[in-house]
Amino acid sequence: MKPDSTFREIGPQTDRVTVRFGSSELSLPRGENLAGALLVVGVMPFRHTPLSGAPRGPFCMMGACYDCLVEIDGINRQACMLQVTEGLQIERPSIKGAGNA
Amino acid sequence: MHSADLIVIGAGPAGMSAARRAAGSGLSVLLLDEQPAPGGQIYRDVDRASKTRGAILGSDFIDGLALTRRLAHDNITHLRGAVVWQIEEATRVNFTRNGKAELAEGRRILLATGALERPMPVPGWTLPGVMTAGAAQILLKQSGIACERAVLVGSGPLLYLVATQMVRAGVPPLALVETQTKADLARSLRHLGGALRGWPYLLKGLRMLWELRRAGIVRHVGATDIAVEGDRSASGVTFRVGGIEHRIACDTVLLHHGVVPNTQAARSIDIPHRWDDAQGCFAPECDEWGRTAVSSVFIAGDGAGIGGARAAALAGELVALEIARDLGGMTERERDAEARPLRSGLGAERAARSFIDSAYPPYAGALAPADDTIVCRCEEVTAGEIRRTAGLGCLGPNQAKAFVRAGMGPCQGRYCGLSVTRILSDTNGIPPDETGYYRIRPPLKPVTLGEIAALAEHETAEVGK
């Protein structure tokens, strides 16, 4: 994970909640799109492909491409279709389980 | 279980306007949409975003408020965050909401599922940091997030729109790399007769170009041999213009060369599709009222053929009138009278379309990708592998699934289907219509067993009442 990000928030700041991404603790804007919020704090890649292990990140932001998959409660989910909520525990999808999207 | 006269799938311009018109004609309407707020992609989160970012996003975006406000009607039930994954018996819709599956029954169903970005397979397009231009716009609209050090690559008015919005947001793109040529523009001039009827669009286009010029945004026009460089993420774009090689270092690459109908739901219930040569995509077969070969299912908006947001809103109303007539809510004469102004509006909206389609054709290099370029992002299948299956006797995309797993990943072919059709068609010398497309099967979106189990619990509870 890069400490810096090439995605900048231009909107008004909203209140933050704490979520965990792997072993890091992140402060993200409550209720905002999860994929967007992760991009701003420098999360990249989101996952690695189960076939070649190539890195991937958000591509379509509209729930069609599945490149922004993250693992939440053991289930691979599209980060771009989720909202930030307090206490989310996010993992990179395990390569083995990446096919169960 | 939910039930309604009409189930509308998709709360973009077509779905919202159809829902309201049908509700106004006395029909009960269930509006299902994946997003937490209405608007579709074009008016994504407009209720919220127009307040804080209206000046950046522009008046065309704020126009969406007129549609979202009109959803407040006693006959409309709008379920947010409802992900449709199956249509059964052409009347029953399965969807997941808040982690639980639910079922809805409708006398009629309207598919208003809109458009997807046309797949643009170029070398490096799977790298993190490469997104669609539409994705960048969604980030800006919904989240107020701008991409820094970005290059926009491809063709079409959306590139200019996204670029001007980025300029207004104070995060201008590094450059535009445009694939259309002067010859394309010359060819498109013969459509100008029609386009002059659509002059507001041309004027908007010129204004955007002027705004970009004033902001000092560099435009490279007629680019070929486009590739994204990078190891772990995008670090640059390379291309050629007039024999000269260029390289722009950047962090984000935004691809776009047009949008195509999202046909997944229509295909899943065997609605026939035909190849549209002018738009280079498949579109469902439906009549001027959005009727399909499945008598209870209608289609409106970009999902029926690309026409843009305003055309979609008008088409949504037209189809709603026909559904109201179909269900006995109005006579044929009433329907036709109410349809007349809508049809004339639709004619004006479509006037500029053939000009735009010919002035901004898809990027040839992405329609016939180099052998080592990945075409199927999910299963990491290259164009060369698809071509080799043709040599082994593979005639269509369905067979390509069995040969190389193309289209068998979680996106279900959304971002490779048209590429695979085109590559097999070109390699075999068989037209796209005959080459065909993937057979799309439910679930349209992944659904867990737990979600389905919740449906059974719910049904049992209902029976027990």
Give yes or no: residues B29 and B97 share one domain: yes
Give yes or no: residues B123 and B250 share one domain: yes
User: What is the rounded CA–CA span in Å between residue B446 and residue B137?
Assistant: 25
Split at pLDDT 50, 70, 90, the class of B456 is confident
- The closest of B181, B256, B179 to B224, measured between CA atoms, is B179
Q: B377 — contact with chain A (CB < 8 Å)?
A: yes
Split at pLDDT 50, 70, 90, the class of B463 is low
Would residue B212 count as lying in a domain? yes
Q: What angle do CA B199, B205, B209 make, to 5 degrees?
A: 145
Give yes or no: residues B123 and B252 share one domain: yes
How many independent structural domains does chain B possess?
3
User: Which residues touch B240 (CB under 8 Å, ≥6 apart)?
Assistant: B223, B224, B225, B246
Split at pLDDT 50, 70, 90, the class of B194 is low
Q: Do B143 and A66 touch (CB under 8 A)?
A: no
Q: What is the mean pLDDT of residues B244-250?
A: 98
User: What is the rounded CA–CA span in Å between residue B370 and residue B383?
Assistant: 7
For residue B406, the model assigns a pLDDT of 97
For residue B353, the model assigns a pLDDT of 83
Q: B146 — contact with chain A (CB < 8 Å)?
A: yes
Phi, psi (5° rounding) for residue B252?
Answer: -130, 140
Q: Which of the listed residues B232, B257, B282 is the one where a domain comes to its end?
A: B257
Question: Encoding tokens for residue B213?
Answer: 């010029």
Phi, psi (5° rounding) for residue B291?
Answer: -70, 140
For residue A11, the model assigns a pLDDT of 75
Cβ-Cβ pairs closer than 8 A, A with B, add up to 122
Range of the domain at B310: 2-116+260-330
Would residue B202 count as lying in a domain? yes
Would residue B401 count as lying in a domain? yes
Burial of B227 (0-12, 13-18, 19+ CB in 10 A): middle
Q: Nearest CB to A62: which of B41, B52, B83?
A: B41
Virtual CA dihedral for A65, A67, A71, A75, nearest 10 degrees?
30
Which residues does chain A have within 8 Å of residue B130's beta carbon, measured at their own beta carbons?
59
Give yes or no: residues B291 and B184 share one domain: no
Q: Which of the listed residues B227, B257, B287 is the one where a domain comes to its end?
A: B257
CATH level 3 topology of A16-96: Ubiquitin-like (UB roll) (3.10.20)
Question: Encoding tokens for residue B185?
Answer: 């523009």
Q: Nearest CB to B410: which of A36, A39, A66?
A: A66
Q: Nearest CB to A9: which of B145, B150, B446?
A: B145
Would residue B267 count as lying in a domain? yes
For residue A12, the model assigns a pLDDT of 76
Residue in the structure block whose two tokens are 């026009």: B221
Give yes or no: residues B276 and B250 share one domain: no
Give yes or no: residues B206 and B298 share one domain: no
Q: B139 — contact with chain A (CB < 8 Å)?
A: yes
Q: What is the mean pLDDT of residues A43-69?
A: 97
Q: Which CATH number characterizes residue B382's domain?
A: 1.10.10.1100
Give yes or no: residues B303 and B224 share one domain: no
Q: Which residue has the higher pLDDT, B411 or B452?
A: B411
Split at pLDDT 50, 70, 90, the class of B276 is very high
Q: Which of the listed residues B330, B349, B377 is the one where a domain comes to its end?
A: B330
Would residue B375 count as lying in a domain? yes
Split at pLDDT 50, 70, 90, the class of B454 is confident
Give yes or no: residues B243 and B218 share one domain: yes
Would residue B19 count as lying in a domain? yes
Give yes or no: residues B89 and B132 share one domain: no
The terminus-to-terminus CA distance of chain B in angstroms comes to 13
User: Which residues touch B385 (CB under 8 Å, ≥6 apart)?
Assistant: B404, B406
CA atoms within 13 A on the CB side of A73: 7
User: What is the rounded CA–CA span in Å between residue B154 and residue B177?
Assistant: 6
Bridge partners (DSSP) listed for residue B219:
B176
Other C-beta atoms closer than 10 Å to the C-beta of A88 total 19
Looking only at the bridges linking them, the beta strands covering A16-21 and B100-111 are unpaired
Would residue B335 count as lying in a domain? no
For residue B403, the model assigns a pLDDT of 95
* DSSP character string of B137-185: HHIIIII-EEESSEEEEE-SHHHHHHHHHHHHTT---SEEEE---HHHH
pLDDT tens readout for residues B257-267: 999 999 999 99
Q: B127 — contact with chain A (CB < 8 Å)?
A: yes
Q: B144 — contact with chain A (CB < 8 Å)?
A: yes
Give yes or no: residues B27 and B126 share one domain: no
Contact B14, B316 (CB under 8 A): yes
- The closest of B460, B459, B458, B449 to B85, measured between CA atoms, is B449
Would residue B461 count as lying in a domain? no
Q: What is the mean pLDDT of residues B314-335?
A: 97
Q: Nearest CB to A56: which of B41, B128, B445?
A: B128
Give yes or no: residues B162 and B188 share one domain: yes
> Running DSSP on this structure, what letter comes out for residue A81?
G
Q: B56 — contact with chain A (CB < 8 Å)?
A: yes
Sequence-separated contacts (24+) of B203-209 with Cβ below 8 Å: B204/B60, B204/B157, B205/B157, B205/B160, B208/B157, B208/B160, B208/B161, B208/B163, B208/B164, B209/B160
Split at pLDDT 50, 70, 90, the class of A99 is very low
**CA nearest to A47 within chain B:** B128
pLDDT tens readout for residues B400-426: 999 999 999 999 999 999 999 999 999
Q: Which CATH number characterizes residue B158's domain?
A: 3.50.50.60
User: Is the pLDDT reported for residue B272 higher than 80?
Assistant: yes
Q: What is the mean pLDDT of residues B291-314?
A: 97
Mutant choice from B51, B378, B415 vs A, greatest count of A C-beta within 10 A: B378
Q: Nearest CB to B135: which of A9, A10, A58?
A: A58
Q: Is the peptide bond before B442 cis (omega within 30 degrees of 0)?
A: no
User: Which residues touch A50 (CB under 8 Å, ≥6 apart)?
Assistant: A95, A96, A98, A99
Q: Which residue has the higher pLDDT, B350 or A51?
A: A51
Where along chain A do its domains lie? Answer: 16-96
User: What is the rounded CA–CA span in Å between residue B193 and residue B237?
Assistant: 37
Q: How many residues does chain A have?
A: 101
Contact B214, B206 (CB under 8 A): no
Q: Do B378 and A66 touch (CB under 8 A)?
A: yes
- The closest of B302, B370, B309, B363 to B152, measured between CA atoms, is B363
Split at pLDDT 50, 70, 90, the class of B106 is very high
Contact B368, B382 (CB under 8 A): no
Q: Do B134 and A36 touch (CB under 8 A)?
A: no
For residue A100, the model assigns a pLDDT of 44
Give yes or no: residues B112 and B145 share one domain: no
Q: Is the peptide bond before B362 cis (omega within 30 degrees of 0)?
A: no
- Mean pLDDT over each residue of chain B, to the nearest integer: 95
Q: Which residue has the higher pLDDT, A98 or B237?
A: B237
For residue B354, the model assigns a pLDDT of 81
Tell me whether 0.90 is exceeded by the ipTM: yes
Which residues does chain B have within 8 Å of residue A55's beta carbon, measured at their own beta carbons?
127-128, 232-233
